[in-house]
Structure 1
């Protein structure tokens, strides 16, 4: 006996949710593969553009996975070769992964495994290790809006022929960049924030006469930042210099044991392609700078300058003594009228 048509119709509705779920799953799968294809095309386009600018990136064993809700770009190792510094610069790291969520396409998070090994001009080499490195990029149609970098236990060693290696390590490092919301568009300004905890830099230890680990907190604004769209290389630095670019340090606080420094300043690149500028600093708990006793120096300079070393910087912590301006000029470092016994500043490019 044949079942009534109304009975067959009612049973069909029982399967409707499952059919709808199947259609949605097939549609989402197709959508994910479309997004994956666009990501691959965007990466290939970016790599081709970088190659045209003299920078060759290599991503070994590249794969794009992450279905169903993410897109993950993975590299067995990441390498960069650039000829923009005259001599070839080569940088290589361990495995790297960049992740973007389907529902937040304007945010990318990347993790890179160390160590980083770099071959630099003039025979120099850089070895940089860490226990964790994570970066994030928030972008819009007009380009990057915010970039953040968090590094745990960075440990660096810079070697050069005929010179003793220079080392630096820290417990952690955080860096953040964003388009400045308070500056006019003509300034092309980017706000920067840098925080370093537990920093150990032997060169600074020798300068200040203390070996205790230190913390550094810096806030600054970089103007004419569009010059660096082509990367960090001599052409970009020269374009930035000729455009009148500056780094305006609005806050610098360094604490190293009992020593504390607070400062503000402005920096640029001069016509000889060396760093130039001025830093106005206040300090406490520092006995010497480059072997010169601070007490005697402050007293002597106070006499030369009419006893004007007691003023504090605006917003400086109580108990800090203001120093004469630290000036970078013609490759030398001056503290007020006194040239410090330091090596000349290097040419940047």
Structure 2
């Protein structure tokens, strides 16, 4: 065996060891930076008036990923509208060392929510079999997209939701073509839900509810002053798609909305209703339609009824929100109070 051949094995072994040691140092540097970065994020939020509390913080996951474990996370924003609060048993945030700009978070244990509604403190608890979210962000920490997925959800307390087989939400920033402020695109979906019938005109059981909206431009925050500024510079909310199905009743629609000077929603849209008579009965039960108005609305809808390609009866019904009143085919249904 030549002298060169004798050295090939040790050289390969040393190279592998050196690479392993180098990656170990690299992973630990990333872990230290992640823990310090979390500490900076906490201090930045506190400087903004947001209360952030937590228990032990630990980074694990070597060698394939970084796992930031945060025990007993609690976040409260008393300066924001409704003063929201949130807490959980543990939050675990996953990062891949070779994939920057993407994180996955898992929330473990019951999530406790708090908020103020009309001067009254509200509380609720949400328990999910699985609660995951994905966040994509730039090198400067700006979030460009998020996705959240909760499976087998049970809720108690002051929430309208009671349970759901699945809840999903998605959001992303969409750059304006003229170089102006970006728009915010949001989608929410719930499957096989049970809700408080007192707040649902379509009843307790909702098989599917999905809404896709665009806020253009994106408001700076949900604080009243920021929402007023958004309204004053022509901010609009586009309902790109609405789909609600419960039993034989299905409603789809779209519309464009804004805020009026009294901070109430205003705008107009169109609904397509399958099972229109049941829809009117549900609206009458939830609203303040008189018997005569209910009959008039049924007659108006019957006159507009058509058949789709599958032979189903469908009604295309315009609706509007103006001066604090929701109207369908010019029949007043509900009050539209100020949003904040």
TM-score range with shorter-chain normalisation?
Answer: 0.7 to 0.9
Counterpart CA distance in 2 for 1:99 and 1:316 is: 47
Tell me: CA distance 1:273–1:155, structure 2 relative to 1, closer, same or farther (3 Å). farther
- Structure 2, unaligned runs of 5 or more: none
Match of 1:101 in 2: 96
Match of 1:162 in 2: none
Match of 2:214 in 1: 221
Match of 1:331 in 2: 324
Counting matched residue pairs gives: 327
Match of 2:139 in 1: 141
Give the drift of 1:131: 1.5
Match of 2:183 in 1: 189
Counterpart CA distance in 2 for 1:302 and 1:257 is: 20
Tell me: CA distance 1:51–1:243, structure 2 relative to 1, closer, same or farther (3 Å). farther
Equivalent runs, 1:299-338 vs 2, <5 Å: 299-301=298-300, 309-310=304-305, 319-325=313-319, 327-338=320-331
Counterpart CA distance in 1 for 2:310 and 2:263 is: 32
Give the alignment partner of residue 260 of structure 2, picking from 248, 252, 270: 270
Counterpart CA distance in 2 for 1:57 and 1:64 is: 19
2:18 counterpart of 1:23: yes
Give the drift of 1:205: 7.7
Counterpart CA distance in 2 for 1:224 and 1:312 is: 38
Name the one with the larger strand percent.
2
Q: Secondary structure at the residue paired with 1:273?
A: coil
Aligned residues of 1:131 and 1:153 also touching (Cα < 8 A): yes
Give the drift of 1:25: 1.2
What TM-score, normalized to structure 1?
A: 0.82
Tell me: CA distance 1:273–1:114, structure 2 relative to 1, closer, same or farther (3 Å). farther
Give the drift of 1:95: 1.1
Counterpart CA distance in 1 for 2:23 and 2:184 is: 38
Aligned residues of 1:158 and 1:167 also touching (Cα < 8 A): no
Aligned residues of 1:284 and 1:319 also touching (Cα < 8 A): yes
What TM-score, normalized to structure 2?
A: 0.84
Match of 1:117 in 2: 112
Give the alignment partner of residue 242 of structure 1, picking from 220, 225, 232: 232
Cα RMSD for the two superposed structures: 3.1
Match of 1:171 in 2: 165
Counterpart CA distance in 2 for 1:226 and 1:138 is: 20
Give the drift of 1:12: 3.6
